[in-house]
Amino acid sequence: MILNTYDFDAAKKAAPAEEGPRQYYFIEQARAVLRERFEAMVDSGEAMERYGSSLLGQLQAEGKYGTFHIETFGCQMNSRDSEKLAGVLDQAGYKEVDGEDADFVLYNTCTVRDNANQKVYGRLGYLNTLKKRRSGMMIALCGCMMQEPSVIEKIKKSYPFVDLIFGTHNIFKLAELLCGKLMKGGRMTVDIWEGTDAIVEELPVDRKYSFKSGVNIMFGCNNFCSYCIVPYVRGRERSRRPEDIIDEIRRLVADGVVEVMLLGQNVNSYGKNLEQPVSFAQLLRQVNEIEGLERIRFMTSHPKDLSDELIEAMRDCKKVCTHLHLPVQSGSSRILKIMNRHYTKESYLELVDKIRAAIPDISLTTDIIVGFPGETEEDFEETMDVVRRVRYDSAFTFIYSKRTGTPAAAMEQVPEQVVKERFDRLLREVQEISAQVCGRDEKTVQKVLVESLDDHKEGYVTGRMSNNTTVHFPGDESLIGRISDVYLEEAKGFYYMGRPV
Ligand code: 5AD
Ligand code: SF4
């Protein structure tokens, strides 16, 4: 039932209390408001002016009443969240468009390093220009950066044209927040929660790829590495129940998904806080049983919690990809201790040996921070030593970024010039090794899941091997989402050129 669509207080009273149905209720309410406004715009001719005839025709054909655009910063967690946010906006009656010239623009932000924050501030000015030209345009911000009080203060002061701000703990409330804005309007709405125990299942999702999907298995992080802001902005660890995860994957598979990426800040501690504790290894075995699913990936593993049981499960489960992302952060045991990582250089290297003994063809990738406070040349050399010993397929290298409120922010910082010079040395080493390592499958046949048409070469497609290496080979659109046998003709450093067999 649609109530008086401009009475948000009445709508709230009439809404179901349980979050799932409640948000669907608000989706319908928002849809009714958008529809009414859109129809008025069509009647007055404003819609033609705003969208142009081609887009307007598409909106009408698809039963949509406006446009939205989401810009996602940061990690796979955020990408998955954005698919959920897009699902809500789509069902509320908005059509997704490429650029930011849209009726509802949402930035899903990241704050893990300061450059992520700077990007958002940089683009807000541009949004304001767009908003001045587009009556009724709404600008919303969400994600990790919004969980920082200093950010909210800055936006209130310097970017007052933002309409809606919410955080990481209440993203499932988007429909309700949107409804409030549509019905009540008014100045900036800020709704930030400090934490939550809620895990809301069964909200709409609009997937970016038809054949692969992220699946959250847990939220938050309890590790408090001394450089990292994530535990402060994503809250404490909460695991989803295995039956909910399996159900979701079954539904995804029924909908055409062949590859899933199980997502959590630290998947190796999955399930510890459930009523009936389950280990990540047990979950992996259950997911491996799902018929129709072809590939399983997961992200991220903390070395301190990677058990023998998990290594065995990875070895036994044929669908689990031969790729492990195992962030080392630093090769110096002294620095690792100050980082609060709970492992040493030696124990990390032993772990790598153990994994390689069990799964010889595994690809290892990592994250490395350069210039953590107090890092000496000797500490840095230890990191270089780990890189040379492990020989990663690839490594994400980061310059340490000071995050307010974390313990490392108060420690003595390394001069910028020194960090820059080390960073360049590390990057060269990492790239040289990775070019050698990535070529090891040249002249063999491998299974490649095709992801898209090749951006650079007409008549080619691009896909990934189980170990995550990219392959380009001749093919057309019909291969997208399918696994092909491909002969790897030539290793090109980070990718292969191949031909189908
Ligand atoms: N500075 C630089 N890099 C960081 N990371 C996390 N916090 C910081 C920081 N303050 C890196 C870590 C982590 C990855 C997601 O981001 O390497 O694994
Ligand atoms: Fe960024 Fe970390 Fe948040 Fe992901 S979880 S969006 S990397 S701060």
Q: Average pLDDT of the chain?
A: 95
Answer whether residue 200 shows pLDDT above 90. no
Please report which confidence band the pLDDT of residue 1 belongs to, taking 50, 70 and 90 as the band edges: very low
Among left, alpha and beta (phi > 0; psi -120 to 50; other), residue 493 is left
Please report which confidence band the pLDDT of residue 490 belongs to, taking 50, 70 and 90 as the band edges: very high
Q: Is the CB of 110 under 6 A from ligand 2?
A: yes
Q: Is 379 exposed, middle or buried (0-12, 13-18, 19+ CB in 10 A)?
A: buried
CB contact set of 344 (below 8 Å; sequence gap of 6+): 333, 336, 337
Please report which confidence band the pLDDT of residue 96 belongs to, taking 50, 70 and 90 as the band edges: very high
Q: Is the CB of 112 under 6 A from ligand 1?
A: yes
Per-residue burial over 285-319, b = 16 or more CB atoms within 10 Å of its CB, e = otherwise: bebbebeebbbbbbbbbbbbbbeeebbebbeebeb
Alpha-carbon gap, residue 24 to 348, rounded angstroms: 47
Quote the pLDDT of residue 79: 95
Q: Is the CB of 403 under 6 A from ligand 2?
A: no
Neighbours of 360 (CB within 10 A): 9
- Find the ligand nearest to 419 CA: 1
* Beta-strand runs (E) in 192-249: 212-216, 218-219, 238-239
What are the residues facing 68 on neighbouring strands? 96, 104
Alpha-carbon gap, residue 82 to 62, rounded angstroms: 21
Quote the pLDDT of residue 6: 80
Please report which confidence band the pLDDT of residue 5 belongs to, taking 50, 70 and 90 as the band edges: low
Atom of ligand 2 nearest to the CA of 76: 4
Q: Is the CB of 401 under 6 A from ligand 1?
A: yes
Quote the pLDDT of residue 307: 96
Q: Is the CB of 227 under 6 A from ligand 1?
A: yes
What are the residues facing 213 on neighbouring strands? 260
Convert the pLDDT of each residue in 421-441 to its tens digit.
999 999 999 999 999 998 999
**Mutate which of 77, 145, 398 for ligand 1 pocket (most atoms within 8 A of beta carbon):** 398
Q: Is the CB of 330 under 6 A from ligand 1?
A: no
Alpha-carbon gap, residue 181 to 155, rounded angstroms: 18
Atom of ligand 1 nearest to the CA of 408: 10
Q: Is the CB of 365 under 6 A from ligand 1?
A: no
Q: In this structure, which residue's CA is closest to atom 6 in ligand 1?
A: 228
CB contact set of 75 (below 8 Å; sequence gap of 6+): 110, 112
Rounded to a whole number of angstroms, the CA Rg of the chain reads 24
Locus of tokens 């030209």: 133
pTM, 2 dp = 0.93
DSSP string, 372-407: -TT--HHHHHHHHHHHHHH--SEEEEEE----TTSG
What are the residues facing 324 on neighbouring strands? 364
Q: Is the CB of 369 under 6 A from ligand 2?
A: no
Q: In this structure, which residue's CA is closest to atom 5 in ligand 2?
A: 230
Alpha-carbon gap, residue 87 to 92, rounded angstroms: 9
Convert the pLDDT of each residue in 436-461 to its tens digit.
998 999 999 999 999 999 999 999 99
